[in-house]
Structure 1
Amino acid sequence: MGHVYTHARVVAALLIREIAARFGSKPGGYVWALLDPAAHVLLLTIAFQAIARAPALGVSFPLFFATGYVAFQFYQAMTSYLNGAVRANKSLLNYPSVAPIDTVVARYFLQFGTTAMVAVVILGVIVVWMRVPPELSWPPILEAAFVGSVLGLGVGLINNVMFVKYPLYEKVFNIVNRPLMLISGIFFLPDAIPHPYREIILLNPLTHLIMRFRTGFYDEYRAIGLDMSYAHMFAFLTLFFGMLLFSASSTLLRNE
């Protein structure tokens, strides 16, 4: 119990340090955390309103793109922030009480809280401004957000090790990870993709998470092909493998 308490105190201290380093003492850092995703949603809305009469689902372009982009960010922003957790806190690992996993856990909590705050503000503003606000269903929204963050955590754990062991892997990962935004269902509904391409798209677990997230905003959305058991299995297997790899490489991460 004392060991757990020590790690909890270390994580709390690291969390405060990460908040100060990321956002600083001025409100500008928090504002940018909101402006960046809001700008993406605005640009997508403007672009697609110029070429389509209505979004693929519902009547609101901002809501459609926001539900896709925000759901995606629970994975994407998490992975991006966790990838450099150990490297950014390398000097602190000289203290025996600070373990490599503490740096990852602290960043996980900070990023999850940040993305959740962004989601509430952006989606809340859009919903309030709609003429007929949707009736929200919280279980699918929370489920998609949590599973997406778990997948991001698993990938982040793997990347902290692989980036150190194999520098080329970092370049390959960035190349492979970049087009995920285009093929995860942010701009379209996988239901509308013809066979056999729909089945290929549905191999991407992020597609299922975005579909699930949207069912919390659109009660008429049937989400054909949605399989959350597949998304759960993929996310938790990734987390399990990431934890094994990270634990086995703790000495390497501390001494690298």
Structure 2
Amino acid sequence: MTSMPRSRAVPRSSWPVKSGRTIIALMLREMSTTYGRSALGYLWAILEPVGGIMLMTFIFSLAFRAPPMGDSFPLFYASGMLPYLMYMEMSGKIAGAIRFSKPLLFYPGVTFMDALIARFLLTALTQLAVFVIVLTSIIVWFDLTAILNYSAIATGLGMALMLGLGVGTLNCYLFAMSPMWERSWGILNRPLFIISCIFFLFDTVPQPFRDYLWFNPLIHAIGAVRQGIYATYSGDYVSILYVFGISFTCLVLGLIFLRHSYRDIVNM
């Protein structure tokens, strides 16, 4: 098996420029392979959450006269599903960053950090665009009156993105070291859709289950987004420090492990 060549020392003055070019090239490669060379690939990124929101709207509108908050089923479910999908997409993309860019990591000018940054930037930009398009379309299409708190929305989306980055970076190492963990993680993640307050409010969960549910960091990201969409929603349980604490802990651990082992991962 081909061994990974040793990286040559890069002058510090030229490193940001070369790394920036590498990241842009990796982003362009990702765009062409993941979304294709036409707008249809990006259209699917929008249709996926729209389809989920429409399905939940149809099902729950048959059983309930009004959503848990407000009077619009699509807006309520969008406020929960979009941050959830943002986290899932980010964590999955980052976890597979080295595997996706493995052939390019044999080149001295490409590092695992370039692969992670490129995937983070492209995924974040794509998901933020999807959020804006879907939320705006719902408000305009259903002629809703919404007083948006952009600061709270940005905080919630930032929590979802950073949580995805942290968990994805740690899993980038763990998946390579243990294929069994990758399969186990997929199984463990399945209940998240149900226990992340996408189609119900955290405040309505009875005790003691509410206290246990609080430790799910996605609860806080979704709660912050709903604070920004619904002016009357307090969301007192939301803890920014808790979510970013978990995110940065996972990120730092993942980067430390990858720094010491990514050459071995690439040569596997």
Tell me which interval the TM-score lies in, with the shorter structure as reference length.
over 0.9
Once the two structures are superposed, what CA deviation does each residue of 1:170-223 show, in whole Å capped at 9, x if it has no partner? 111111112111101101101000111001111101101100011000010111
**Secondary structure of the residue that 2:255 maps to in structure 1?**
helix
**Secondary structure of the residue that 1:135 maps to in structure 2?**
coil
Amino acid paired to 1:189 = L
Residue among 207, 213, 218 paired with 2:230: 218
Aligned residues: 256
Residue among 70, 74, 88 paired with 1:62: 74
Q: What's the offset of the Cα at 1:158?
A: 1.2
Dislocated runs of 4+, deviation >3 Å: none
Separation of aligned partners in 1, 2:55 and 2:171: 31
Once the two structures are superposed, what CA deviation does each residue of 1:62-87 show, in whole Å capped at 9, x if it has no partner? 00000100111221111122221111
Residue 153 of structure 2 is matched in structure 1 by 141
Residue among 59, 62, 73 paired with 1:47: 59
Aligned residue runs from structure 1 range 152-171, under 5 A? 152-171=164-183
Task: Tell me if 1:114 matches 2:126.
Answer: yes
Amino acid paired to 1:255 = N
Q: What TM-score comes out, normalization by structure 1 length? A: 0.96
Separation of aligned partners in 1, 2:260 and 2:154: 32
Task: Tell me if 1:8 matches 2:20.
Answer: yes
Residue 211 of structure 2 is matched in structure 1 by 199
Q: What's the offset of the Cα at 1:245?
A: 1.9
Separation of aligned partners in 1, 2:163 and 2:255: 12
CA contact (8 A) 1:100 1:253 kept: no
Superposed CA RMSD in Å reads: 1.2
Identity among equivalent positions (%) equals: 35
Residue 240 of structure 1 is matched in structure 2 by 252
**Secondary structure of the residue that 2:65 maps to in structure 1?**
coil
Amino acid paired to 2:257 = L
Aligned residue runs from structure 1 range 33-44, under 5 A? 33-44=45-56
Residue among 95, 102, 109 paired with 1:83: 95
Separation of aligned partners in 2, 1:84 and 1:237: 19
Q: What TM-score comes out, normalization by structure 2 length? A: 0.92
Q: Which runs of 5 or more structure 2 residues have no equivalent in the other structure? A: 1-12
Amino acid paired to 1:175 = I
Residue 5 of structure 2 is matched in structure 1 by none
**Secondary structure of the residue that 1:203 maps to in structure 2?**
coil
Aligned residue runs from structure 1 range 179-194, under 5 A? 179-194=191-206
Task: Pick the structure with greater CA Rg.
Answer: 2
Residue 93 of structure 1 is matched in structure 2 by 105
